[in-house]
Amino acid sequence: MPVQGVWIFLGLALLAIGILGRRWAGAWLRFRGARVITCPENQRPAGVHVDERYAALSAVKGAPALRLSACSRWPELQGCGQACLAQIEASPEACLVRNILTDWYRGKVCACCGTPFGEIRWAVQKPGLLSADKTTLEWNQVPAERLPEILEAALPVCFACHMANTLVRTHPELALDRGARGARRISSEETGPC
C-alpha cells in the first residue's frame, strides 16, 4: 500500500473513531445522574438511575437504548417493565435531580442571610435546604423519590449559611460569634438554624 493510501486509511479510521466516541460520550453524559420520575405503577415519585454505560455503548450503533441500573422501588419491584423509561426518553433533562434543584433555587434568596442565588457551582459550593424541622441539609441527603415533597416544604440556604449551621449543630464547642460584642462562644440555646 502506498504511503498516501496509509494516510487516507488512518484519517478515515480516526474520523470513524471520533464519530463513535462522540456518540458514546454524548449518551453517557446525557443519561448519567439521579432522576425523579413518576412511577407508572403507583403514580408516585421514584428515584432512578439509568444505566449510562449501557446507553453509551448502544449509542455507538444508533439511538441509545435505555434500562435502569437502580430504582428506589427495588428490590420489591425489580422485575417491572420499566415503563418509566418513556418519561426519561421524552425529556432526559427535565427529570434530572440537578436540573430540578437548579430550577428550584432560581430567583430565590437564602432563608438565613438573604443573599440571592445566582449561578450554582455544584462541584464547589452546593447550596443547602432548610427543612420543615429547621435543620439544614445538603441536597444529596434527600432521597430522590422524596425530593418533590421536601422541596415543597423547604427553604433555600446558601452554601456559607449551610456550612455555618452544620458547624454550629455538629460542633457547637468550636463555633464563635464575632459580632459587635467581640468573640464569644455560642451557647447551646443559640444553635438553631440561621
Q: What is the DSSP annotation of 87-112?
A: HHHH-TTTTBHHHHHHHHHTT-B-TT
pLDDT at 135 over 60: yes
Are 90 and 118 within one domain? no
Q: With 90 as the cut, is the pLDDT of residue 16 above it? A: no
Nearest-angstrom CA–CA distance, 188 and 21: 56
Do 17 and 108 sit in the same domain of this protein? no
Closest by alpha carbon to 162, among 113, 97, 120? 113
More confident residue, 190 or 178: 178
- The count of domains in the chain is 2
Asked if residue 146 and residue 61 are part of one domain, the reply reads: no
Range of the structural domain that residue 152 is part of: 97-194
Burial string for 71-95 (b: 16+ CB within 10 Å, else e) reads bbbeeeeeeeebebbebbeeebeeb
Q: Both 113 and 140 in a single domain? A: yes
Question: Based on the domain organization, do 66 and 157 belong to the same domain?
Answer: no
Look at residue 82 in the predicted model and tell me its pLDDT. Answer: 93
3-state secondary structure of 35: strand
Question: Cα-Cα-Cα-Cα dihedral of 128, 130, 131, 133, to 10°?
Answer: 140
Higher model confidence: residue 75 or residue 27?
A: 75
**Residues 107 and 50 reside in one and the same domain:** no
Q: What is the distance between the alpha carbons of residues 86 and 137, in angstroms, rounded to a whole number?
A: 31
Q: How far apart are CA 144 and CA 60, in angstroms?
A: 30
pTM (2 decimals)?
Answer: 0.74
| Dihedral, CA of residue 112, residue 114, residue 118 and residue 120, to nearest 10 | 0
Query: How many other C-beta atoms are found inside a 10 Å radius of the C-beta of residue 115?
Result: 14
Tell me: do 116 and 179 sit in the same domain: yes
Residue 17: predicted pLDDT: 67
The reply to whether 73 and 40 lie within a common domain is yes
φ, ψ dihedrals at 128, nearest 5°: -115, -175
Residues 133 and 159 grouped into a single domain: yes
Given 69, 95, 121, the domain boundary residue is: 95
Cis peptide before 75 (omega within 30 of 0): yes
